[in-house]
Amino acid sequence: MTDRSVSPTMSGHMIARTPAGWQPESWQRELAEGYRLPAELLAALGLDAAMHADVDFDPHNPFPQRVPLSYVQRMRRGDPSDPLLRQVLPLLSERAPSPAGYGRDPVGDLDAALAPGVLHKYQGRALLIATGACAVHCRYCFRRHFPYADAPGASEWKSALATLTDHKDVYEIILSGGDPLALTTHRLAALIERITVLPQLRRLRLHTRLPVVLPARIDQALLTLLANTRLKTVMVIHANHANEIDTQVRSALVELATAGVTLLNQSVLLQGVNDDAAALAALSEALFDAGVTPYYLHLLDRVEGSAHFEVPTHEALQIHAQLRALLPGYLVPRLVREEPGAPAKTPVF
Ligand SMILES: *Cc1c(COP(=O)(O)O)cnc(C)c1O
Ligand code: SF4
């Protein structure tokens, strides 16, 4: 993603589209107070910036650090290899020349666009880029180079959905981004309302990391919105490590389940974060305790700047085999990779 992907509260851009007299929701204030400077983040964790020559302190980083306070509170103090810290701290290795096979659009998203902001790669489902903004900038993200200028605003949503009107074989709309829950509830409600009128639609899916990185986002207004659509609602959250699921996250997830939302999780297999079977087993257990079923374990998308996170495929297979030996089958996520042009996520055997 680019420097255009600023949060609703920081840009003023989305505030301008909401009614007069509107006040930021409390989660938005929390979002605006997140850590933006690596030196501040290290200091908050009791780490000495001068000791960390591998960190990218450039204040003009085109994919800047972004992490909410509540996520930082789940990091271990004094531990530079904390698995949550590793996911968000910009490193100089991101600027190293990329190995062969790495690119800016490794999953072929730019070729799958049906209309600006609408991706139709797989049968029955279409993915809508609801916003370019995210509450957190995950350093391995395959969307770090995505041209978010094309993310639809209200008028573009209208034409995107008009395109979908003609696709009678699309039963499910996936709201993605960026992070669809970075939209205000007001804007999200307007989008869902437009989606709901498409008669062929049965399911609404949200791909979001907000319940994990900013559980305050799961407020009453959002729960009411999700509980009251005629569509079956599925939420695919994104957690990579058991330490991401604390009490507050668990309550947010339980509330979503109570509102009738089916909860799944996708993770990315990341070197130095979750590349061992015991860590992944603990994650599956923590997810299940919170009412979430493990869905996918993705091999890293080969996006420029993320090579230091890659777990080689043969190691991934070993880890996954060990995981299958540790857990009941329903707690083992499917190991997949995304291949441009494939009809589905590709299972890795
Ligand atoms: C991953 C993805 C989906 C969802 O795939 P599922 O296997 O149904 O989870 C849909 N559309 C696009 C463009 C995707 O990248
Ligand atoms: S929340 Fe998702 S889309 Fe946003 S930076 Fe992280 S991985 Fe990428």
Query: Does pLDDT of 14 surpass 80?
Result: no
For the stretch 229-238, what's the b/e string if a residue is b when 16 or more beta carbons lie within 10 angstroms of its beta carbon?
bebebbbbbb
∠ at Cα 272 (342, 266), nearest 5°?
Answer: 40
Q: Say which residue, 155 or 197, is predicted with more confidence.
A: 197
Tell me: the pLDDT tens digits for 226-237?
999 999 999 999
Query: Does pLDDT of 162 surpass 90?
Result: no
CB distance 38 to 90 below 8 Å: yes
Query: Does pLDDT of 197 surpass 60?
Result: yes
Query: Does pLDDT of 188 surpass 70?
Result: yes
| Residue 175 neighbours by CB under 8 Å, 6+ apart | 128, 130, 191, 204, 205, 206, 207
For the CA of 119, the closest atom of ligand 1 is 13
Any idea which ligand is nearest the CA of 174? 1
Say yes or no: CB of residue 110 within 6 Å of ligand 1: no
Q: Say which residue, 311 or 110, is predicted with more confidence.
A: 311
User: How far is residue 169's CA from residue 258's CA, in Å, rounded to a whole number?
Assistant: 30
∠ at Cα 111 (7, 205), nearest 5°?
Answer: 50
Residue 60: beta bridge partners? none
Ordered by where they begin, the domains of the chain are 26-95 (no CATH), 110-347 (3.20.20.70)
Any idea which ligand is nearest the CA of 210? 2
User: What does the pLDDT read at residue 22?
Assistant: 63
Say yes or no: CB of residue 121 within 6 Å of ligand 1: yes
User: How far is residue 127's CA from residue 346's CA, in Å, rounded to a whole number?
Assistant: 18
Q: Say which residue, 272 or 162, is predicted with more confidence.
A: 272
Say yes or no: CB of residue 174 within 6 Å of ligand 1: yes
Say yes or no: CB of residue 138 within 6 Å of ligand 2: yes
User: What does the pLDDT read at residue 341?
Assistant: 87
User: What does the pLDDT read at residue 325?
Assistant: 98
DSSP H or E run through 9: helix 8-11
Tell me: the pLDDT tens digits for 116-138?
788 999 999 999 989 989 999 99
Say yes or no: CB of residue 203 within 6 Å of ligand 1: no
Entry pTM: 0.92
Angle between helices 154-165 and 185-196 (to 10 degrees): 20
SS3 content of the chain, % helix, strand, coil (to 5): 40, 15, 45
Q: How confident is the model at residue 151 (pLDDT cuts 50, 70, 90)?
A: low
User: Which residue minimizes the CA distance to atom 9 of ligand 1?
Assistant: 345
Q: What is the mean pLDDT of the chain?
A: 90
DSSP H or E run through 268: strand 262-268
Question: Which spans in 166-228 are helix H?
Answer: 185-196, 210-213, 220-227
Entry field: residues in the chain: 349
| Residue 124 neighbours by CB under 8 Å, 6+ apart | 169, 170, 171, 172
User: What does the pLDDT read at residue 114?
Assistant: 78
User: What does the pLDDT read at residue 28?
Assistant: 93
Q: Say which residue, 12 or 291, is predicted with more confidence.
A: 291
